[in-house]
């Protein structure tokens, strides 16, 4: 039942409840996306239980629509083992696809449920051709693009990758790239990667004594852009709003249905948007006006509401009443043609066929009781038609019902009712029959047995470290965003004591890698920095940007020769796109996957290895006990023990919003309601912002827990530190074994992140 790129554009509606699903179908949606009781990125929606979701799958199919199920959270190891039994009944019922973020879950679903379409969630931060290629090769049928993409970037994906494209056309916009936000998680333990975002971006923040809702983006509205979006290659036009009411769903779907159909029938030349329809959309939900999002602009102040959503305003009751009448409370029925046959000596018969051209041709015939010769009044055609035509609350309504009676016969009303019921049940069963699937797997496979024959992968086993059974001695790995930080470390007289050539010293801390961030280190200086690091006996790596879009491809493409000649010992990748770009450009440096390449379970770890990871970085939202499940699998892992963690990575620019763009990279402070200062950097080279946690992560007093994990290396990330702070912090870490409690004194304000508290 899979859809194809050649079919007409799909209008995809949110369904946070069973009622919203019905309203969406009534209003003209081609498909809905809906979560079950677990693993959906809207944990606080009115998600249906198992029986209701199974009923929803049948409901949409009876009315010629599709239902995609959201399983778009990151999976802990135990949860991944439970996924098979959770999905199996929906797979058998005929769910049309699953929307997935976690790569471990992605590969499991491919193995367990062959033929089930997988859609790569917007939480995967797909920003271009290279990410789409990776996911296509892994088996995705569709990618849900990052909301920040331009029409040109979407069109390029369509040109180069044979994969369905789904893009948001209406609803709320996150300030952060979806999948790259830890703000809610670090502030209150409610992770956006687990569907529990507390929406801190909707709160006020202060820059230079000017308080405003700097992160509160206006909602997206693209009615005017519908021809451009479709012509760019978007197959599925997605409406946001699983947390909103059935009335909202019905209203937005009905208006977008109107204009999608207008474009399909009249083309670009006949396409005109009535301003009144935009006003109706604002009557449904208004956060401070609409914007066209990122389709035409990379970022801008005009996208930001800069004020709080009004607490109350008078509603458009006439609109609400109409939506309730026409869609929310409507009974949707498919038109059926019927024929009744009554003849003495032969079983009564009812033939039914669907009239709806949007559905597959379906016809059934059922038989019932034998009519008898009428002793008094014979049954009439009018009486039979009246009784058979009582379809009530069923999914069907007769558009035509022919009755043919041969001879003077009689059939009780009860028999006619039974004939009608049998016919409608048979028709419903026949419509749903093509969607049903046989049981895909009778037993739950081993949780780490994933078939990746295309990638030549093998099953990951528990990795035996050299230190098993011995006292553990970690290597230290340092990363720097600013050249001044690295210069200070390289000129530090004591660096030689900890450089890689001292590895033979028993239990001595070893600095074996230094990585420099491409956002701060210009390409023209790469080769010289590598030489200086190598002179200290230490490996040197390059960190690619958090976001790999047009700006990154142009900059790195222009400096490809510099990259190949610099002599880097490895590349730290932060985005899926970068793995494919490195392969296609012929760069064969070992790839180390950063913590933004989420590896929450053994299945994901194996997928990362198949994608080329030499090492992974342990995720930032798991506890030390949860990390035990993946820290000693293959590939080896690093643990971040110090650094200001990125809370948000955004295409928007705080500096541009508040004072204008001068294309000068710098760090500024943004104050929250509690008075804490959140450092913000604008990375102009690649045109994105990073908002950092106000308190740096500090784990080195968690020695026992870290020792139990036995990661290959401990990583320290330097972001906004001065030269002096960099040396003081690094020295304190390296000498922690000699002088107890050095760091807690040095850093009076710090956090252990989720190392002990975790997320739900």
Asked whether 25 and 34 are in contact (CB, 8 A), the reply is: no
Phi then psi dihedrals of residue 629, to 5 deg: -65, -25
DSSP state of 203: S
Radius of gyration of the chain (CA): 30
Question: Can you tell me the distance from the alpha carbon of 546 to that of 647, in angstroms, rounded to the nearest whole number?
Answer: 12
Whether the model clears a pTM of 0.95, i.e. scores above it, the answer is no
Which whole number is the average pLDDT over 472-489? 92
- Concatenating the DSSP letter of every residue in 287-303 gives SS-EE-TTSS-S--GGG
- Helices and strands: H and E segment counts in the chain: 25, 32
Asked whether 234 and 144 are in contact (CB, 8 A), the reply is: no
Asked whether 184 and 197 are in contact (CB, 8 A), the reply is: yes
Q: What is the pLDDT of residue 40?
A: 60
Which whole number is the average pLDDT over 220-234? 98
Which whole number is the average pLDDT over 483-504? 84
- Concatenating the DSSP letter of every residue in 134-178 gives HHHHHT-SEEE--TT--HHHHHHHHHH--SEEEEEEEE---SSPT
Q: Which residue has the tokens 């202060």?
A: 206
- Alpha helix stretches (DSSP H) within 376-412: 381-388
Which whole number is the average pLDDT over 741-755? 73
Sign of the CA dihedral with 490 first, then 494, 495, and 496 last = positive
* First-to-last C-alpha distance (Å) of the chain: 36
Q: What is the pLDDT of residue 741?
A: 54
Secondary structure string (H, E, C) spanning 638-696: EEEEEECCEEEEECCCHHHHHHCCCCCCCEEEEECCCCCEEEEEEECCCCEEEEECCCC
| H or E element at residue 103 | helix 103-112
The CA-based dihedral angle spanning residues 9, 14, 17, 23, taken in that order and rounded to the nearest 10 degrees = -50
Asked whether 624 and 755 are in contact (CB, 8 A), the reply is: yes
DSSP state of 740: T
Which whole number is the average pLDDT over 91-119? 96
Determine the distance from the C-alpha atom of residue 289 to the mean position of all C-alpha atoms in its chain, rounded to a whole number. Answer: 25
pLDDT digit string, tens, across residues 3-56: 333 457 999 999 999 999 999 999 999 999 999 887 765 555 567 889 999 999
Question: Can you tell me the distance from the alpha carbon of 133 to that of 130, in angstroms, rounded to the nearest whole number?
Answer: 5
Determine the distance from the C-alpha atom of residue 555 to the mean position of all C-alpha atoms in its chain, rounded to a whole number. Answer: 27
Under the banding of pLDDT at 50, 70 and 90, the label for residue 562 is very high
Question: Can you tell me the distance from the alpha carbon of 236 to that of 260, in angstroms, rounded to the nearest whole number?
Answer: 11
Under the banding of pLDDT at 50, 70 and 90, the label for residue 499 is confident
User: 415: number of CA atoms within 13 Å, CB side?
Assistant: 17
Under the banding of pLDDT at 50, 70 and 90, the label for residue 475 is confident
Question: Can you tell me the distance from the alpha carbon of 480 to that of 492, in angstroms, rounded to the nearest whole number?
Answer: 15
Question: Can you tell me the distance from the alpha carbon of 242 to that of 46, in angstroms, rounded to the nearest whole number?
Answer: 9
- Concatenating the DSSP letter of every residue in 558-584 gives HTHHHHHHS--SEEEE-SHHHHHHHHH
If you count them, how many residues does the chain have? 760
Sign of the CA dihedral with 251 first, then 256, 259, and 264 last = negative
Question: Can you tell me the distance from the alpha carbon of 490 to that of 484, in angstroms, rounded to the nearest whole number?
Answer: 10
Taking each helix axis as running N to C, give the angle between helix 483-490 and helix 723-734, from 0 to 180 degrees, rounded to the nearest 10: 50
Q: What is the pLDDT of residue 758?
A: 86
Determine the distance from the C-alpha atom of residue 101 to the mean position of all C-alpha atoms in its chain, rounded to a whole number. Answer: 5
Asked whether 477 and 716 are in contact (CB, 8 A), the reply is: yes
**Arithmetic mean of pLDDT over the chain:** 90
Q: What is the pLDDT of residue 241?
A: 92
Residue 456 pLDDT greater than 50, yes or no:
no
Which whole number is the average pLDDT over 171-190? 93
Secondary structure string (H, E, C) spanning 469-521: CCCCCCEEEEEECCHHHHHHHHCCCCHHHHEHHHCCCCCCCEEEEEEEECCCC
Phi then psi dihedrals of residue 32, to 5 deg: -130, 155
Under the banding of pLDDT at 50, 70 and 90, the label for residue 471 is low
Question: Can you tell me the distance from the alpha carbon of 475 to that of 478, in angstroms, rounded to the nearest whole number?
Answer: 10
Lowest model confidence (mean pLDDT) among 293-297, 359-363, 514-518:
359-363
Asked whether 114 and 82 are in contact (CB, 8 A), the reply is: no
Phi then psi dihedrals of residue 658, to 5 deg: -90, -35
Q: Two tokens at 418?
A: 């039974």
Q: What is the pLDDT of residue 460?
A: 41
């Amino acid at each position: 039942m899979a859809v194809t790129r050649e079919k007409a554009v799909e209008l995809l509606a949110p369904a946070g409840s069973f009622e919203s699903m019905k309203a969406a179908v009534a209003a003209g949606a081609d498909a809905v996306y809906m979560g079950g009781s677990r693993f959906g990125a809207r944990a606080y929606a009115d998600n249906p239980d198992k029986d209701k979701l199974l009923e929803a799958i049948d409901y949409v199919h009876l009315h010629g629509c599709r239902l995609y199920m959201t399983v778009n959270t990151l999976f802990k190891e135990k949860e991944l083992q439970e996924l098979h039994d959770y999905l199996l009944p929906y797979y058998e019922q005929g769910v049309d696809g699953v929307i997935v973020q976690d790569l471990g879950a992605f590969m499991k679903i491919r193995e367990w449920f062959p033929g089930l379409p997988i859609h790569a969630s917007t939480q995967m931060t797909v920003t271009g051709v290279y990410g789409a290629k990776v996911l296509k090769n892994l088996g995705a049928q569709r990618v849900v693009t990052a909301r920040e993409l331009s029409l040109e970037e979407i069109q390029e994906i369509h040109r180069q990758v044979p994969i369905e494209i789904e893009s948001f056309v209406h609803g709320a916009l996150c300030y952060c790239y979806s999948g790259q936000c830890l703000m809610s998680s670090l502030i209150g333990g409610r992770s956006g990667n687990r569907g529990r975002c507390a929406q801190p971006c909707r709160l006020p923040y202060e820059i230079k004594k000017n308080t405003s809702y700097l992160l509160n983006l206006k909602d997206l509205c693209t009615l005017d852009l519908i021809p451009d979006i479709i012509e760019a290659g978007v197959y599925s036009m997605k409406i946001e709003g699983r947390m909103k009411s059935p009335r909202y769903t019905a209203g937005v779907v009905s208006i977008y249905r109107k204009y999608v159909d207008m474009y399909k029938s009249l083309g670009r030349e006949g396409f005109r948007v009535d301003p009144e329809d935009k006003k109706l959309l604002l009557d449904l939900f208004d956060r401070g006006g609409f914007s066209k999002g990122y389709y035409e602009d990379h970022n801008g102040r005009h996208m930001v509401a800069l004020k709080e959503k009004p607490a109350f305003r008078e509603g458009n009751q006439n609109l609400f009443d109409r939506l309730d009448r026409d869609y929310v409370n409507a009974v949707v029925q498919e038109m059926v043609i019927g024929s009744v046959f009554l003849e003495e000596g032969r079983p009564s018969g009812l033939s039914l066929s669907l009239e709806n051209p949007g559905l597959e041709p379906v016809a059934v015939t059922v038989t019932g009781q034998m009519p008898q010769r009428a002793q008094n009044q014979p049954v009439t055609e009018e009486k039979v038609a009246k009784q058979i035509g009582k379809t009530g609350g069923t999914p069907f309504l007769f558009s035509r019902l022919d009755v043919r009676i041969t001879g003077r016969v009689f059939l009780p009303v009860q028999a006619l009712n039974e004939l009608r019921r049998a016919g409608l049940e048979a028709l419903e069963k026949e419509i749903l029959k093509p969607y049903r699937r046989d049981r895909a797997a009778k037993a739950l496979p081993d949780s780490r047995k994933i078939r990746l024959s295309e990638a030549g992968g093998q099953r990951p086993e528990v990795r035996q470290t050299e230190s098993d059974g011995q006292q553990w001695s970690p290597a230290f790995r340092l990363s720097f965003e600013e050249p001044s930080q690295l210069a200070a470390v390289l000129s530090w007289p004591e660096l030689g004591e900890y450089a890689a050539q001292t590895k033979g010293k028993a239990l001595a801390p070893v600095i074996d890698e230094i990585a420099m961030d491409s956002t701060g280190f210009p390409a023209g200086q790469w080769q010289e920095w590598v030489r200086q690091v190598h002179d200290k006996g230490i490996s040197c790596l390059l960190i690619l940007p958090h976001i790999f879009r047009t700006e990154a491809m142009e900059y790195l493409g222009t400096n490809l020769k510099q990259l190949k000649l610099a002599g880097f010992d490895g590349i730290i990748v932060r985005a899926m796109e970068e793995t494919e770009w490195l392969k296609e450009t012929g760069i064969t440096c070992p790839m180390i996957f950063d913590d933004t390449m989420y590896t929450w379970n053994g299945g994901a770890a194996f997928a990362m290895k198949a994608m080329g990871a030499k090492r992974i970085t342990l995720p930032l939202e798991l506890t030390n006990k949860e990390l035990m499940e993946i820290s000693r699998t293959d590939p080896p892992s690093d643990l971040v023990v110090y650094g200001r963690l990125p809370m948000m990575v955004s295409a928007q620019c705080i500096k541009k919003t508040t004072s204008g763009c001068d294309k000068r990279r710098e760090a500024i402070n943004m104050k929250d309601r509690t008075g804490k200062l959140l450092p913000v950097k604008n990375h102009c080279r690649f045109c994105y912002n990073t908002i950092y946690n106000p308190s740096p992560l500090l784990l080195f007093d968690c020695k026992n827990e870290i020792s139990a994990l036995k990661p290959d290396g401990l990583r320290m990330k330097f972001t906004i530190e001065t030269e002096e702070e960099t040396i003081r912090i690094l020295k304190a870490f390296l000498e922690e074994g000699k002088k107890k409690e050095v760091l807690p004194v040095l850093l009076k304000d710090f956090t252990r992140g989720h190392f002990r508290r975790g997320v739900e």
